[in-house]
Amino acid sequence: MTTAKPRTGKDILRIALRRNVAAMAAGTALMGMYQAAETAFPIALGEIVELALRERSLRALGLSILGLGVLITIVSLSWRHGMRVLQKANTTEAHRWRVQVAAAGLEPMDREHGLRSGEVLTVATEDADQTADIIEVVPLLVSAVIAVVIAAIALGLASIWLGLLVIAGATVNLTILSLLSKKIGSSTQEQQARVARAAAKVADLIGGLRPLHGFGGNHAAFRSYRRISTEAKQQAITVAGVNGGYTGIGLALNAILAAAVTLTAGWLAFDRQISVGQLVMAVGLSQFIMEPLRLFSEMPKYIMIARASAERLALVLAAPSPGTAGREPVSAGATLEVAELSYGALSGLDFRVPAGEFVAIAAYDPGAAADLAAVLAVGVRPDRYTGSVRIDGASLDELSVAAVRGHMLVNPAHAEIFAGTLRSNIDPSGVCPDVDPAVYASMLTDVVALHRDGLEHVVADRGTNLSGGQRQRLSLARALAAAPEILVLHDPTTAVDAVTEQLIARRIADLRRGRTTVVLTSSPALLDVADRVLVLDGGTVAGEGTHRDLLTADDAYRVAVTR
């Protein structure tokens, strides 16, 4: 696979064509042979009629039938092997783009650009397949051109007017249909976008089905999805109408051309300008060229569909990464420094967390906590914020995402749960030595004890067979098991009860003792176990101290965090 990062749909199509040159050349040769043999069939019939009328010989008739058998064999074998070569290349190319889209989807995307997982899924399936169709489209287009050219030459040898009629008619048809195909491309791109939004909505609804039932929001959510799905349906109907109109016009134009060739040949035969055998050939070719003309006329449509899908692939593959290539590794320490950080709800935020300290950040504005988590998670490009974030003196914009992740892990408020088992969700790599302590600290022990399989209990996609609190504790266990030098937790206990929250807070503090930990939370339990609490108001630090000192000295803080 190429290492160049495609920026546009045209780039993607060029890459697909370039790395399949050999397969396309072989496919073009075989499909060209197929079309040539197909075109030769009515020409041979015309010659057989001429021969029969001239010689009236059984031997000549037998040789003619043998020749037709050879043509039929060539048609069968060339079609079978040609399509096998092209479809293998098509399928392989679609697989490559699916893998590339999946890899890009797993990398961090700029927070203001990122597509939802349902949209990425649609791009990785339907759009990847339709983009790879270009591998078949080009050889089929070339083979159709070969068939039309051979037919035009054969008819032109019989009568120059017949040859010119085929060439002129094919040119006019293709010009008209090329103009119509532009409408198909734009309509298809919009349809794919709406289908992707509907898929993303379904994924979100399935993931939040239990909470929706809990507070009675399932009907409103269903109405929301129905509206989005209806929009996708209407766009699909529009695309189907455009496709139907395109196909109908193409068939009509091709039928008109075939009829014109037949009538012209009939008139020429009546006027004795061509022979009976040439008339048979012309009538046969006029019927035969309907198929290559159909292929010839439909290729612009498939090219536009491939271009539209390639543009959607580019949305994912060319999405700006918030990280950089990185110029230096992080040192072995674990100090986190934020200086004059302004982004979203943050305004000149300053704080420093020395290695080994447990700091809780209580933000009066939840948006400020989310914005800080996004920046620390390398979810925001450096040019979108001012100020700096440093890990042991190295700025985030100097480091690769891998270097940052190797030292600091940010566990989001709404982490994904994957199909698999409890263990595979906690330790995806299968090499983590701290699974049991993480299970204990996150209070996931009761979930494990509920099931006979323990940590091998099967988890459904998105954790739909777990409650909201169980999913949150599973996500927390995953973060704790990773044991990073700097761990940032964003609202890790919002879905659990107060008693469980107290136990989780104490156990996290015990497990993370001596390692840098930052918790973005308003939970009194977590605030109480922190070495220090930073109060964020107006996007900057407005207060600092222990939880109990702040409860006594700061009325606003007491009101904000007391439950």
Cα(490)–Cα(487) distance, integer angstroms: 10
Dump pLDDT digits (tens) for 107-165: 666 555 555 655 676 777 788 888 999 999 889 888 888 888 888 888 888 888 888 88
**Alpha helix (H) ranges present in 483-538?**
498-511, 524-529
Question: Quick one: pLDDT at residue 269?
Answer: 82
φ/ψ region of 272 (left if φ > 0, alpha if ψ in -120 to 50, else beta) reads left
Q: Which of 446, 438, 440, 449 has the alpha carbon at shortest distance from 469?
A: 446
Mean pLDDT check: name the lowest of 4-8, 213-217, 436-440, 506-510: 213-217
Cα(275)–Cα(92) distance, integer angstroms: 50
Start and end residues for every CATH 3.40.50.300 domain found in the chain: 336-561
**Which of the pair, 392 or 320, is modelled with greater confidence?**
392
Q: Hey, is 349 helix, strand or coil?
A: strand
Confidence of residue 323 (pLDDT cuts 50, 70, 90): low
Question: Quick one: pLDDT at residue 438?
Answer: 95
Which residues of 357-494 form beta strands (DSSP E)?
358-363, 386-391, 394-395, 408-411, 420-421, 458-459, 486-490
Dump pLDDT digits (tens) for 17-29: 999 999 999 999 9
The per-residue pLDDT of the chain, averaged, comes to 82
Confidence of residue 477 (pLDDT cuts 50, 70, 90): very high
Mean pLDDT check: name the lowest of 218-227, 251-260, 272-281, 345-354: 218-227
The sign of the torsion formed by the CA atoms of 73, 79, 80, 82 equals positive
Cα(484)–Cα(405) distance, integer angstroms: 8
Cα(174)–Cα(297) distance, integer angstroms: 6
Confidence of residue 467 (pLDDT cuts 50, 70, 90): confident
Question: Quick one: pLDDT at residue 261?
Answer: 82
Cα(16)–Cα(420) distance, integer angstroms: 34
Helices 21-55, 290-317: crossing angle, 10 deg rounding: 180
Question: What residue has token string 């159709």?
Answer: 144
Per-residue tokens: 343: 């982004």
Q: Which of 495, 494, 497 has the alpha carbon at shortest distance from 523?
A: 494
Mean pLDDT check: name the lowest of 128-132, 367-371, 530-534: 128-132
The mean pLDDT of 471-493, rounded to a whole number, is: 94
Q: Which of 257, 318, 329 has the alpha carbon at shortest distance from 289?
A: 257
Domain 16-317: which CATH class? mainly alpha
Dump pLDDT digits (tens) for 295-304: 766 777 778 7
pTM: 0.63
Per-residue tokens: 434: 């701290």
The mean pLDDT of 334-356, rounded to a whole number, is: 94
Protein fold of 336-561: Rossmann fold (3.40.50)
Cα(303)–Cα(58) distance, integer angstroms: 49
Per-residue tokens: 51: 């021969």
Start and end residues for every CATH 1.20.1560.10 domain found in the chain: 16-317
| Residue 50 burial (CB count, 10 A) | 16
Taking a C-beta distance cutoff of 8 angstroms, is the pair 183, 245 a contact?
Answer: no
